Amino acid sequence: MMLQGRTALVTGGSRGIGAAVVRRLAAHGARVVFTYRDRRDKATELAAELDGAAVPVRADQAAVSAVDDMFAPVRDGLDIFVSNAAINPRGAISDLTADDFDHVMAVNAKIPLLAMGRAATLMRDNGRIVAVSTVNTVLPAASHALYAASKAALEQFTKVAAREFGARGITVNTVSPGATRTDLFTSLNPPEAAGLAAAVTALGRLGDPDDVAAVVALLASPDAHWITGQNIRACGGYLL
C-alpha cells in the first residue's frame, strides 16, 4: 500500500493501458480519479470493480474545457497525474488535412500540456507526473506522422516540466510502450502483426497493459524520487 492516502488522476482510464494503470494505483492504496470520453459503460464497470477506490469523470480532450472537467474532482489536492489519453487516426501524409493536424495535436499534445500545468498548481510537494508516449517517436512508421509528432511534443513537455517543477520535489517522466496487446492495437493492425511484433521483441512476446502499468506505478511511487526528466521505454526490448 505504498500509495495509501495519495490522490491520483489518470486520463483515458476506462480501458487498455489506462485501465491497467487505474487498477495498479488503486491496488497500491491510491484514491484514483480517471477520465473517459465515450465508453461510459467501461468506466462504470471499472469503478464498480474497484469498489469505490476509483471514480470516473467524463472529459473530451478535443476541447479545452476538458482541463476543468478532469480536475474538478481533485481540487482538494493531487499527488499523482498520469497523462494517458490519446488518439491515433492513421493517415498518409499526402491525405492529412489541417483539421486532422489540429485535432490530433489538441488531444495528444495541447490538452496534456495544459493539464500538466494545472496538475502542478494542485499538486502537493513531492508529487509525480507521468506521461504515456510511444516508441514510434524514435521508430517511425508509415501513417503515424501526427501520432508520432504529437507524442514527441509530449516527451519534450515532460523534460521541461521536470526542470520547472523539480524545486518542489515533483518528478516528471515519460513511459513509452512498444507493441502492446490493447483494443487499439488489435483494431489498427492485421492479425499477423502480433506475431511479427513478438518475434522482434527481446522478451519474445507482445506487451500487456499490466506490463506498462507496472512501470507507471513505479514512477508514481515514493521510490522513484530520484528519477525525473526520463523516458522509460517499457517495451520488453521491442526497441533496443
* Residues tagged active-site: 147
Helix (H, G, I), strand (E, B) or coil at 35: strand
How far apart are alpha carbons 211 and 91 in whole angstroms? 28
DSSP 8-class letter at 110:
I
How far apart are alpha carbons 100 and 103 in whole angstroms? 5
Q: Residue for cell digits 517495451? A: 235
- Give the DSSP per-residue string, 171-202: EEEEE---SB-SHHHHHHS-TTHHHHHHHTST
Residue 98 burial (10 A CB sphere; 0-12, 13-18, 19+): exposed
Q: Identify the helix (H) or strand (E) that includes residue 50.
A: none
Q: Where are the beta strands (DSSP E) in the chain?
A: 7-10, 31-36, 54-58, 78-83, 123-132, 171-175, 231-232
